[in-house]
Chain A
């Protein structure tokens, strides 16, 4: 197999990261589960480095915390007539991802920030990425049993930054390789 260049490795790595992220994120949404854990807000390393809270803008309105976004999603799932939780189904039809900082080091462990550990730098070469991901898809409000459910198109834009807990500990059990630093959502 032909070896790939560093840039190609980075491009592929970003694609894999975006895939892992969108797979997880929209499964959570459709299953009615919270997503707040994937934002920088709750990460100890980002908190310690005084990273500002993730910028979350939903349909043109700023939402202060990821928990508030979870609450909005709960509100969206509510079927007012029955006061029951309905299904809001998110289906990804496409995503694209660009690397916007190939050597992201904010809130990274000291040996990465100062680039003192050559081995570590090499190992994390395609993992120290800041990325922008644009997702497009459809949202369906409710199931078929109640007639034709309303449907919308959604576009989601995320800025993702490395989850250093994952990067520095290869045996890290968590699944979140990247965290959300910015989230812009529109559904219409």
Chain B
């Protein structure tokens, strides 16, 4: 005789009782006279002595009612017609199954059916579990989690640590029958699977209904006049309104499940007919919009839809719906229904055979289905009369590519800050290994993380050292404005380096891409970056060469977003024009308009970099370089050998 087991098998709710509990009564003991109950009131017939708190707490008489409370397993086997649809719904909405708890192992036991215990009311399951636990609990108490008997097999789950103890029992004889115990990764059957078998039959019937109603040439699923369908009627589908709606939902779900991908589905079912179904509100068939959202043609003719409000549940659904038939519905007598419907469905071109919108209008309407990104404007440089920012970026990026040590020495001082943040989210382009150890992404690190201090580089020397460790880069030429988005403006209230008062600062934000060659990791490719500079007046104490300004803050943000269009707001058409390599390009013919102050600054920079006199520096800039700093330096390098000694300031 067996005590009541309740739905212990496979309810999934009974927590694995703690095999940790070795204190208390300790050791192995025989079955207690009064089975203890777990929190659910289920009888916990196998908890080891001195089990965990959970089992112990509920040791009262609560469990006695469990047999009635759960209704036993008998109920799930009753296949009354009224439950078929419900069951099927459970089946189709069940979603992916097979997740097992990661710390649990699933074991399969064979041989039970030959044992003498099969005569027990529960087929001998309970006594088998008791047997296994007793035998397995040699060094520590082993507790079985879930269990279920399925045909010739008994499935159990145990904690992974305990699995070897149970597996050790492989070959033991139980009630006259030898047991085979194996570990498995298969999904443990669930009590619901027994329902699913009933559902499977229903599903097959419905699939047959669908097959008969599908027209592969027209890609049409004809769900018209469902009430006269002999199979559906025989299944009791129309016994109530409620059941008819559920049956429809299941039909649509099964239809959509015939396709593996959304694209296949879109291709496979392009048209649906729901004609002659006595519909008075699309709410009754609403699921069509969620299961088959991409259909192009929909026939709702000969129903009882009498106003727009009866279709409004589908408003702004069916984005690709091109053709809609409503003849034979009272709604067609309403004056404005066409005008209103085209506002609801962006692709709709044909209502009741009448053309209501052109393909061009459809394209326009589809574009407006999403919120609209703000327009993009070119670089916005408001850096004052001296064009400090323009010159700074012209000098900065080529020098960052070619001579970082010098760059740090010239523009950074002891109080400059630099940091990098890598936004390594998708990793679809270059890997991030080189950068991640420096990445000061405060958002990800957390503001209390000491790394936010360690990864902040302060002072020109530290910054220069850190730059040495970064892969070499090549930024695009400033000649190519489409490759850069630079925004810049002045702002007040920086600390004045002379001590008191405020100084004006300059904020420069640069968005662009650079080529990278990481020789240590052997990686080459492009990265997208944002670089934010704060420039402020130089300290009088800074060693020469003193620029009038210094970098107070330099934040480099790297990410792997590749913009769909060129950021400068160029028309996408421009991408189709074959790109002439910039290096071979003839410099633009039109002269660059620069004011004298800017020219003087450029001349100063060229003087600093080349050691040439002001005169020669100007010649160099105004020639083919056309006042482009980068080109000027290049032509200097090319012509260097040919220059007379007088071209240089320190000519010997």
Residues of A within 8 A of B (CB): 8, 11-12, 15-16, 18-19, 22, 51-52, 55, 57-62, 72, 75-82, 86-88, 92-104, 106, 130, 132, 134, 136-139, 141-142, 146-147, 149-150, 152-153, 155, 157, 159, 161, 181-182, 184, 186-188
Contacts and interface: CB of A to CB of B under 8 A. Distances in A.
A11 to B, nearest CB: 5
B493 A94 contact: no
A122 B453 CA distance: 22
A77 B371 contact: yes
Given A79-B368, A98-B555, A188-B567, 8 more contacts: A15-B448, A60-B379, A76-B374, A81-B368, A96-B557, A98-B419, A100-B553, A146-B319
B590 to A, nearest CB: 23
A133 B456 CA distance: 14
Contact of A93 (B319, B375, B425): B425
B233 interface: no
Nearest to B380: A60
A113 B54 CA distance: 63
A157 B509 contact: yes
B373 interface: yes
Interface in B20-42: none
Interface string B333-376: 00000000001001000000000000000000111111111111
Contact of B534 (A57, A88, A132): A132
A79 B370 contact: yes
Given A12-B448, A57-B487, A58-B374, A96 B555 contact: yes
Given A94-B441, A150-B373, A15 B447 contact: yes
B421 A59 contact: no
Given A153-B563, A157-B507, A136 B419 contact: no
A57 to B, nearest CB: 5
A103 B495 contact: yes
- Interface of A, secondary structure class, is strand
B447 A12 contact: yes
Nearest to A104: B493
Contact of A142 (B370, B492, B494, B563): B370
A154 B154 CA distance: 56
Contact of B487 (A11, A146, A186): A186
B492 A94 contact: no
B371 A100 contact: no
B440 interface: yes
A147 B555 CA distance: 36
A11 B452 contact: yes
Interface of B: 316, 319, 343, 346, 365-380, 382, 417, 419, 421-423, 425, 440-444, 447-448, 452-453, 456, 485, 487, 489, 491-495, 502, 505, 507, 509, 511, 528, 530, 532, 534, 536, 552-553, 555, 557, 559, 561, 563, 565, 567
A134 B555 contact: yes
A15 B453 CA distance: 10
B371 A78 contact: yes
Contact of A161 (B493, B507, B555): B493
Given A87-B371, A136-B530, A100 B440 contact: no
A136 B421 contact: yes
Q: Give the residue among A58, A82, A93, A159 with the most B Cβ atoms within 10 A.
A: A93
12 contacts: A11-B456, A22-B443, A75-B374, A81-B368, A95-B441, A100-B534, A130-B493, A132-B507, A146-B369, A153-B528, A182-B491, A188-B563
Contacts of B444: 94
A59 B442 contact: no
Nearest to B511: A186
Contacts of A98: 417, 419, 456, 534, 552-553, 555
Given A132-B532, A188-B511, A106 B553 contact: no
A186 B423 contact: no
A134 B373 contact: no
Nearest to B567: A188
A34 B392 CA distance: 36
Contacts of A57: 380, 487, 489
Contact of B377 (A61, A97, A103, A142): A61
A82 B563 contact: no
A146 B315 CA distance: 12
Contacts of A51: 492-493
Nearest to B289: A145
B283 to A, nearest CB: 17
A134 B532 contact: yes
Contacts of B491: 55, 159, 181-182
Contacts of B366: 81
A86 B567 CA distance: 24
B316 A82 contact: yes
B311 to A, nearest CB: 15
A1 B153 CA distance: 59
